[in-house]
């Protein structure tokens, strides 16, 4: 069973009609505000070649992966080079996608608006980034833990120490609950001291939006509209999800599709209710070009000034300095090193859109790309870096293996578990198949996760930093004794914790395997003894019957796991609104049965040895089965399959 199918669906969430008649989104102000038009200019030969290059890359991707529609905008030196869309906004009608009118859901790129709002309030002296966030919260408080408060800097760096939770994705857009209500009801457990580990948190980003509300005194959506979207004339950008859009705005949305039986089928739209600031926005290629130009302009664009240049410069610095050569967050913006340049931006995804926004101030260039349909995310993840490669116009020179590193490599080897996981709920189980295996290899390391293996070489002059042939970097962290304890991934928003033997998820698989093995041999032994007149006592008959029941429950649990894996592999956004599905409910009930027979199995050891009349080999087999069941039951508790709430 591969639980990575579950993890892939969940993690993908959030780390992006006819185009001829598209009015402004619902949240637009009553006073008409004209969309910023592209100033006419004659592109240079270099710029024209770049646009042709992007056209070719997108065309090749759409041909290979059947992407219904793609939106791309590229800005350079304070201008919009182009903002366009490719493909069909509506496959059924053949309506073409438009770069100025077709809306694409941008997922977690929405967070960049939240973080910008925070920095605007910081500039006004209303928020101290190093202050306990409880100072600003109304109607709820973050519980104390680790003798350290959660600060806004922690939230912006995804280092607040919260566990992950699926509950963010279980709230419909039509709920009557407020952001305060859902944040208070679905508060995740604090599992790490603030600042010590990076773990992407949609809940934490939504908490920052609540602080914007509580400090400014207006709903977040109104602050977004009045203070950001309207001044920038981003009239085709909305915070509302499809379920809340009016008919005209929804018609502007590039429809999302999935491939079924080789053909397009409409995909469900993800709903996150009041958590909208964490990832519900929709926008056009042209509007997002204006958003990039604001940030490339250090907080000012086209006469709109959201913050002073000095404040924006500060926003694009890191609040933590523990991995200067690796990826991290600069007050909410993902920042990473790639080929001697430093980029800022954010990625995003919903259940049916992929999005990325990357800006490189060194070149004055920004790239936005969004795709309707999740056929393949290669274009969205690769296009910004392909554009950078094209602009650099020189072969990349990434890190090389170091023969002298071989003696140190063993210190990094081992299993690492993604820290973006549940710790206190049933969903902890989903982390068992997201283990990263690190091993020595030549003069570097190999990292294997979810069936893919990458080779990393040490980066010269950067301690514990490694780079692969695509320019992605990992940075390992150490404890006070110098032992490697974790590493942070190439996007700077996920860290992986080194696990020892006792906490390795493989132990759950081992326990399940042993329980299945002895279940099979128990049933096989009972079948073999049929009709042979084996010596029986009443105690022996009861213990033997109990063993058969236990084996049957283990088989049933295996079937329930398979059912859950299949159901979750085919899960969609609608399923999350009714989470947990029937397969998980049944699995947990059967697991309780296994736990009960495991206890009974231990109790049965006395009559099995003292009054069963069995041969010694059967007694030994029954003992081994009872111990295997007990160990399996313990693992079911450890991994929250039972006795823990679901999201």
Residue pLDDT, tens place only, 512-525: 999 999 999 999 99
299-to-224, 235, 312, 334, 343 alpha-carbon distances in Å: 15, 19, 6, 17, 17
**Which is it for strands 484-488 and 473-478: parallel, antiparallel or unpaired?**
antiparallel
The pLDDT value given to residue 45? 87
* Entry pTM: 0.91
Q: Do 516 and 492 share a domain, yes or no?
A: no
Q: Among the listed ranges 113-117, 265-269, 545-549, 572-576, which one has the minimum average pLDDT value?
A: 572-576
In this structure, is residue 414 part of a structural domain? Answer: yes
Q: Which of 438, 466, 499 represents a domain boundary (last residue)?
A: 499
pLDDT classification of 28: cutoffs 50, 70, 90: very low
In this structure, is residue 389 part of a structural domain? Answer: no
Average pLDDT estimate for 33-45: 58
| Domain extent for 437 | 403-499
In this structure, is residue 320 part of a structural domain? Answer: no
Q: Do 519 and 491 share a domain, yes or no?
A: no
How far apart are alpha carbons 253 and 245 in whole angstroms? 10
Q: Do 456 and 566 share a domain, yes or no?
A: no
In this structure, is residue 366 part of a structural domain? Answer: no
Q: Do 578 and 634 share a domain, yes or no?
A: yes
Q: Which residues of 383-405 are buried (b: 16+ CB within 10 A; e: fewer)?
A: bbbebbbebeeeeeebbebbeeb
Q: Which of 474, 499, 524 represents a domain boundary (last residue)?
A: 499
Q: Do 521 and 464 share a domain, yes or no?
A: no
pLDDT classification of 14: cutoffs 50, 70, 90: very low
Q: Do 512 and 571 share a domain, yes or no?
A: yes
In this structure, is residue 266 part of a structural domain? Answer: no
Q: Do 518 and 435 share a domain, yes or no?
A: no
In this structure, is residue 541 part of a structural domain? Answer: yes
Residue 119 has pLDDT above 70, yes or no: yes
Residue percentage of the chain with pLDDT more than 70: 93
The pLDDT value given to residue 37? 47
Q: What is the CATH number of the domain that holds 478?
A: 2.40.128
In this structure, is residue 347 part of a structural domain? Answer: no
Q: Do 601 and 485 share a domain, yes or no?
A: no
Beta bridge partners of residue 439, listed in sequence order: 446
In this structure, is residue 261 part of a structural domain? Answer: no
Q: Do 523 and 494 share a domain, yes or no?
A: no
The pLDDT value given to residue 101? 97
Average pLDDT estimate for 193-204: 98
Residue 53 has pLDDT above 90, yes or no: yes
Q: Do 518 and 466 share a domain, yes or no?
A: no
The 10s digit of each residue's pLDDT in 126-141 is 999 999 999 999 999 9
Instruction: Supply the mean pLDDT for the chain.
Output: 92
- Tell me the chain's radius of gyration from C-alpha atoms: 28
Residue 42 has pLDDT above 90, yes or no: no
Q: Do 555 and 615 share a domain, yes or no?
A: yes
Average pLDDT estimate for 188-206: 98
The pLDDT value given to residue 36? 46
Q: Which of 378, 383, 384 has the alpha carbon at shortest distance from 363? A: 384
Q: Tokens 């003292």 map to which residue? A: 610
Q: Among the listed ranges 40-49, 268-277, 281-290, 627-636, which one has the minimum average pLDDT value?
A: 40-49
**How many angstroms separate the most distant Cα atoms in the chain?**
97
Q: How many domains does the chain have?
A: 2
Q: Which of 584, 518, 523, 539 has the alpha carbon at shortest distance from 557? A: 584
The 10s digit of each residue's pLDDT in 79-98 is 999 999 999 999 999 999 99
Q: Which of 453, 482, 499 represents a domain boundary (last residue)?
A: 499
Q: Do 580 and 479 share a domain, yes or no?
A: no
The pLDDT value given to residue 23? 29
How far apart are alpha carbons 152 and 126 in whole angstroms? 12
484 Cβ partners below 8 Å, 6+ apart? 411, 412, 464, 476, 477, 478, 498
């Amino acid at each position: 069973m591969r639980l990575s199918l579950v993890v892939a669906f969940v993690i993908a969430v959030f780390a992006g009609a006819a185009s001829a008649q598209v009015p402004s989104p619902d949240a637009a102000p009553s006073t008409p505000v004209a969309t910023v038009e592209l100033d006419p200019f004659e592109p240079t030969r270099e710029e024209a070649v770049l646009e042709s290059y992007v056209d070719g890359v997108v065309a090749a991707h759409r041909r290979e992966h059947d992407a219904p529609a793609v939106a791309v905008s590229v800005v350079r030196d304070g201008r919009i080079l182009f903002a366009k869309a490719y493909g069909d906004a509506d496959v059924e009608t053949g309506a073409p996608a438009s770069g100025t009118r077709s809306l694409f859901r941008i997922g977690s790129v929405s967070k960049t608006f939240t973080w910008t709002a925070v920095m605007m309030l910081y500039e006004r002296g209303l928020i101290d980034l190093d202050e306990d966030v409880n100072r600003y919260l109304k109607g709820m408080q973050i519980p104390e833990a680790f003798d350290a408060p959660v600060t806004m800097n922690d939230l912006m760096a995804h280092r607040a120490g919260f566990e992950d939770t699926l509950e963010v994705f279980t709230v419909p857009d039509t709920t009557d609950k407020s952001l305060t209500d859902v944040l208070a009801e679905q508060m995740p457990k604090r599992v790490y001291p603030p600042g010590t580990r990076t773990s992407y948190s949609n809940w934490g980003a939504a908490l920052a939006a609540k602080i914007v509300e509580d400090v400014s005194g207006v709903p977040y959506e109104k602050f977004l509209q009045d203070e950001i979207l309207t001044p920038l004339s981003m009239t085709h950008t909305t915070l509302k999800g499809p379920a809340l859009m009016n008919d005209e705005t929804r018609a502007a949305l590039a429809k999302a599709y999935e491939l079924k039986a080789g053909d397009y089928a409409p995909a469900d739209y993800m709903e996150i209710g009041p958590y909208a600031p964490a990832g519900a926005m929709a926008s056009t290629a042209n509007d997002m070009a204006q958003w990039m130009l604001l940030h490339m302009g250090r907080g000012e664009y086209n006469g709109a000034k959201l913050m002073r240049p000095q404040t924006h410069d500060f926003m694009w610095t890191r609040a933590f300095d523990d991995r200067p050569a690796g990826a991290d967050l600069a007050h909410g913006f993902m920042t990473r090193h790639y080929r001697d340049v430093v980029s800022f931006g954010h990625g995003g995804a919903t259940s049916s859109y992929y999005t990325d926004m990357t800006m490189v101030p060194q070149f004055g260039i920004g790239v936005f790309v969004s795709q309707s349909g999740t056929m393949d995310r290669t274009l969205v993840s690769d296009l910004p870096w392909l554009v950078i490669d094209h602009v650099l116009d020189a072969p990349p020179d990434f890190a090389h293996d170091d023969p002298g590193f071989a003696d140190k490599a063993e210190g990094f080897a081992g299993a690492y578990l993604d820290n973006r996981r549940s710790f206190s709920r049933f969903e902890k189980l989903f982390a068992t198949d997201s283990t990263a295996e690190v091993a020595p290899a030549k003069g570097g390391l190999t990292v294997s996760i979810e069936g893919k293996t990458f080779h990393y070489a040490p980066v010269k002059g950067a301690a514990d930093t490694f780079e692969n042939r695509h320019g992605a970097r990992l940075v390992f962290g150490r404890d006070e004794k110098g032992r490697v304890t974790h590493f942070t991934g190439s996007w700077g928003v996920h860290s992986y914790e080194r696990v020892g033997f006792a906490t390795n998820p493989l132990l759950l698989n081992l326990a399940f395997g042993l329980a299945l093995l002895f279940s099979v041999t128990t049933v096989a032994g009972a079948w073999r003894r049929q009709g042979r007149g084996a010596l029986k006592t009443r105690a022996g008959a009861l213990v033997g019957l109990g063993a058969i029941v236990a084996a049957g429950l283990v088989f049933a649990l295996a079937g329930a796991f398979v059912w859950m894996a299949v159901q979750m592999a085919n899960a969609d956004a609608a399923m999350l609104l009714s989470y947990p599905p029937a397969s998980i409910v049944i699995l947990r009930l059967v697991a309780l049965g296994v736990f009960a027979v495991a206890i009974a199995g231990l109790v049965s050891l006395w009559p099995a040895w003292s009054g069963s009349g069995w041969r010694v080999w059967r007694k030994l087999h029954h003992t081994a089965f009872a111990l295997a069941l007990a160990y399996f039951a313990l693992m079911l508790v450890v991994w929250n399959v039972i006795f823990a709430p679901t999201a």
